[in-house]
């Protein structure tokens, strides 16, 4: 086989635990990696896990890309493309998975030689922390490709700002791609004319400080500048209050917050999907905190998370102190969040995925008009941000209760509403 690769990609054929390719669109990252893996898999039997943060169906994976490259390379005789796998005649196997929701269930992950995480910009800290130890076969490698977005994103921090020892890290842009196609060239020129900042991000691979339409941009900036994102350990003996969002399809987000004087110590955060309530109660137990109140959204009064009784009933049954957060509009909730934000101290490690939600919570932007919608975008980030909004609303109750609570908070003895 005589297949060409851009110079900056030659390192894909040298051994290294981490191989990172990042940069703007059209840098030949996806094609190059797909081709390199197919070539390597034809030379030796390899188990390759192709992963991304969210993969709800095989259509969202690189399955199709690999299939096209098998055709382009004339490897159809060698590779058999099945519905959810690709098999080589020598035993090479490509499998596909989403990190956030099915990494626990990946068959045969013990024996993986190469894990390729594509579109990795928004892979969460939890997903990396879960994936990396499972890729443990001697000589196994982790390949990562992405277009950077925020310089605060976990993937960018972990692999570009402070990469692991021995990691090979290369930035590739369109200008490194000898086959950069005409159509993309035109799109690039157009965006360069229309919106230079967007051009720098999309095509030159520059990071942004904040996403367009980011709702808490100022609050996050202030928290960073004032050093309120850092090490915020649990204070023993002070109750931890939890604030929940129960999303559709069993997506659940939980903030863990202590009230100490006027400070809200945001000590922990957890999110997951596809589990019944027991799972989340197990997480609470496992954290080993002393708990105050569990603040649930009003839908806890009818949501069931896979059980006969409502969430509220199930939690009361096991003796937890439950409070239902008043139902107020999203805009008012966002205002409430802005009000409490300045008093929040976030643990950078334990709340990393929650902070990502707050940074990415944004108004929808129309790509043509650049106008913002009045409503937040409903996406992966919005659940964690919703739970944070409930926290803020729970802190802002009717006047008398509020006064009473303020007095209790000042006295350091607040235990919930
Ligand atoms: N090895 C290659 N041979 C021919 N064309 C290529 C090759 N690699 C990339 N290209 C062309 O460049 C385009 C962009 O490559 P792609 O891998 O999608 O970039 P990225 O993933 O960096 O955005 C592809 O659609 C294809 O037209
Ligand atoms: Mg790509």
Residue of the nearest CA to atom 16 in ligand 1? 28
Q: Which of 2, 4, 28 to mutate to test the pocket of ligand 1 (most atoms within 8 A of CB)?
A: 28
Residue of the nearest CA to atom 5 in ligand 1? 179
Between the CA of 30 and the centroid of ligand 2 the distance, in Å, is 4
319 and 234 part of one domain: yes
Between the CA of 30 and the centroid of ligand 1 the distance, in Å, is 7
Domain count, the chain: 2
Ligand that comes closest to the CA of residue 120: 2
Residue 197 lies in a domain: no
Which class for 46: exposed (0-12), middle (13-18), buried (19 or more C-beta within 10 A)?
Answer: buried
Residue 350 lies in a domain: yes
Residue 245 lies in a domain: yes
163 and 29 part of one domain: yes
Domain containing 88 equals 7-180
92 and 239 part of one domain: no
* Per-residue pLDDT tens digits for 246-278: 976 668 999 999 999 999 999 999 999 888 899
245 and 104 part of one domain: no
131 and 35 part of one domain: yes
Residue 78 lies in a domain: yes
Residue 196 lies in a domain: no
236 and 167 part of one domain: no
* Per-residue pLDDT tens digits for 35-69: 999 999 999 999 999 999 999 899 999 999 999 99
230 and 116 part of one domain: no
pTM: 0.87
Residue 195 lies in a domain: no
What is the distance between the alpha carbons of residues 345 and 224, in angstroms, rounded to a whole number?
10
Between the CA of 371 and the centroid of ligand 1 the distance, in Å, is 32
The atom number, within ligand 1, closest to the CA of 34 reads: 17
Between the CA of 33 and the centroid of ligand 2 the distance, in Å, is 9
| Ligand 1 pocket member 41 (CB < 6 A) | no
* CATH classification of the domain holding 357: 3.30.420.280
Closest-CA residue to 81 (of 115, 50, 120): 50
32 and 118 part of one domain: yes
158 and 268 part of one domain: no
**pLDDT tens series, the chain, 417 aa:** 668 899 999 999 999 999 999 999 999 999 999 999 999 999 999 999 999 999 989 999 999 999 999 999 999 999 999 999 999 999 999 999 999 887 677 656 679 999 999 999 999 999 999 999 999 999 999 999 999 999 999 999 999 999 999 899 999 999 999 999 999 999 999 999 999 989 999 999 999 988 889 999 999 999 999 999 999 999 999 999 999 999 766 689 999 999 999 999 999 999 998 888 999 999 999 999 999 999 999 888 877 666 678 889 999 999 999 999 999 999 999 999 999 999 999 999 999 999 999 999 999 877 777 788 888 999 889 999 999 999 999 988 654 455 556 655 655 555 543
Listed residues 135, 155, 180: the one ending a domain: 180
Ligand that comes closest to the CA of residue 177: 1
Between the CA of 161 and the centroid of ligand 2 the distance, in Å, is 21
| Ligand 1 pocket member 27 (CB < 6 A) | yes
Between the CA of 210 and the centroid of ligand 2 the distance, in Å, is 22
With contact defined as beta carbons under 8 Å apart, do 9 and 145 qualify? no
Residue 190 lies in a domain: no
| Ligand 1 pocket member 8 (CB < 6 A) | no
158 and 249 part of one domain: no
| Ligand 1 pocket member 30 (CB < 6 A) | yes
Between the CA of 205 and the centroid of ligand 2 the distance, in Å, is 12
Q: Read off φ and ψ for residue 270, nearest 5 degrees.
A: -145, 140
The atom number, within ligand 1, closest to the CA of 180 reads: 12
| Ligand 1 pocket member 117 (CB < 6 A) | no
Listed residues 158, 180, 202: the one ending a domain: 180
**What is the predicted pLDDT for the residue at 380?**
87
What is the distance between the alpha carbons of residues 192 and 271, in angstroms, rounded to a whole number?
38
Residue 144 lies in a domain: yes
* Per-residue pLDDT tens digits for 107-131: 566 799 999 999 999 999 999 999 9
């Amino acid at each position: 086989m005589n297949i060409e690769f851009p110079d900056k990609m030659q390192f894909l054929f040298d051994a290294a635990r981490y191989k990172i390719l990042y940069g703007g669109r059209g840098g030949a990252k996806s094609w190059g990696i797909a081709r390199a893996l197919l070539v390597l898999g034809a030379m030796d039997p390899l188990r390759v896990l192709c992963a991304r943060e969210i993969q709800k169906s095989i259509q969202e994976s690189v399955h199709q890309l690999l299939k096209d490259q098998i055709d382009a390379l004339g490897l159809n005789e060698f590779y058999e493309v099945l519905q959810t796998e690709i098999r080589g005649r020598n035993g090479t196997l490509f499998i596909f998975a989403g990190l956030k929701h099915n990494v626990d269930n990946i068959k045969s992950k013990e024996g993986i030689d190469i894990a390729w995480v594509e579109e990795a910009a928004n892979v969460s800290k939890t997903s990396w922390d879960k994936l990396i130890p499972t890729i443990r076969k001697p000589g196994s490698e982790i390949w990562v490709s992405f277009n950077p977005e925020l310089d605060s994103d976990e993937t960018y921090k972990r692999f570009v700002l402070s990469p692991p020892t021995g990691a090979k890290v290369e930035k590739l842009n369109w200008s490194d791609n000898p086959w950069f196609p005409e159509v993309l060239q035109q799109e690039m020129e157009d965006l360069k004319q229309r919106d230079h900042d967007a051009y720098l991000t999309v095509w030159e691979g520059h990071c942004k400080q904040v996403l367009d339409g980011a709702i808490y941009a100022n609050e996050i900036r202030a928290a960073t500048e004032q050093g309120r994102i850092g090490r915020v350990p649990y204070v023993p003996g002070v109750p931890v209050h939890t604030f929940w969002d129960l999303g559709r399809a069993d997506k659940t987000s939980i903030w863990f917050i202590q009230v100490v004087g006027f400070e809200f110590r945001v000590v922990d955060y957890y999110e997951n999907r596809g589990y019944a309530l027991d799972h989340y109660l197990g997480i609470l137990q496992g954290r080993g905190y002393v708990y105050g109140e569990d603040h649930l959204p009003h839908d806890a009064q009818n949501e069931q998370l896979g059980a006969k009784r409502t969430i509220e009933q199930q939690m009361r049954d096991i003796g937890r102190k439950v409070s239902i957060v008043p139902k107020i509009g999203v805009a008012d909730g966002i205002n409430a969040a802005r009000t409490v934000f300045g008093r929040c101290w976030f643990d950078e490690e334990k709340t990393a995925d929650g902070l990502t939600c707050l940074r990415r919570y944004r108004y929808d932007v129309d790509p043509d008009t650049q106008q913002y919608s009045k409503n937040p975008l409903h996406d992966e980030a919005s659940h964690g941000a919703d739970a944070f909004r409930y926290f803020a609303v729970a802190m802002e109750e009717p006047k008398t209760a509020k006064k009473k609570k303020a007095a209790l908070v000042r006295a350091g003895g607040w235990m919930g509403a």
